Amino acid sequence: MGKALVLGGGGIAGLAWEIGVLAGLGDAGVDLSDADLVLGTSAGAAAGAQLLSGLDLDELYERQLRPPDAEVAARPGWWSRLRTAGALLAARSPETGRARVGRFASDAARFSQAVREPVIASRLPSAAWPERNLVVTAVDAHSGAPRTFSRNDGVDLVRAVSASSAVPGLWPPVEIGGRWYLDGGVRSATNADLAAGYERVVVLAPVSPLLPRLPRPEAELAALPEGTRHALVVPSPEARAVFGRASADPARRAAAARAGRTQAVEAAVRVARVWGV
């Protein structure tokens, strides 16, 4: 069925790292923008929209090195993180846990959607859905059910990416079509299981799951149908040092992009083998 590129969540630093990795892979002759599916979660949704925007990889990379004037420095408070973890742990099912998170996410948000949407818009080279197959993940804040958005749904791209990255305790749920949606990372940091059916799958995962009961990308890849060729790229120790504990800090964006581009040299051979380059 073709090739799928999965871009996981990880804050503004994770987004920059993904763009750096993609640019570095391009330096090595491995261009992942020809994927039949680009699946983005949270920051990965913005990275996917950037990748398929029509700008070349060098230009996308250079955008990460500019002063992050349009970004907002913020991170969820410890109490919100604790409530989210507790809701997921205590629930009888993942959907029930995610719905519990949805019930307090609006009150716990530190910023309004009026603040959030201009930030997301600034990250996207275009407000139009790309022609190629971009799918972004979210979670229904009422039911806890997973939801995906693509150009075929008639949903504004900025709102879809905002929903995919509506981190509980930081950003409010996003209304789309009369429903409210949370960060797709509340279900999975990568949602790589949604790439099932594709023959070749490459996953860039800036962060490991930080919440209880969330699947690790390694497990999601292992569960793909037999015969699926896959590669997982996670931050090197040097990149993790750049992220620190503040992946949402805009000041880390440029350093994270550089770390990703440097790391791509090591990852290029195994990614090329999976991608069929």
Catalytic status, residue 183: yes
Among the listed residues 53, 140, 164, 183, the single catalytic one is 183
Among the listed residues 33, 42, 164, 247, the single catalytic one is 42
Instruction: Encode the chain in three state secondary structure.
Output: CCEEEEECCCHHHHHHHHHHHHHHHHHCCCCHHHCCEEEEECHHHHHHHHHCCCCCHHHHHHHHHCCCCCCCCCCCCHHHHHHHHHHHHHCCCHHHHHHHHHHHHHHHCCCCHHHHHHHHHHHCCCCCCCCCCEEEEEEECCCCCEEEECHHHCCCHHHHHHHHCCCCCCCCCEEECCEEEEEHHHCCCCCHHHHCCCCEEEEECCCCCCCCCCCCHHHHHHCCCCCCEEEEECCCHHHHHHHCCCCCCHHHHHHHHHHHHHHHHHHHHHHHHHHCC
Tokens of 142: 């009422």
Contact present, 35 and 3 (Cβ < 8 Å): yes
Beta bridge partners of 260: none
Catalytic status, residue 188: no
Pairing of strands 134-140, 179-183: antiparallel
Active centre residues (catalytic): 42, 183
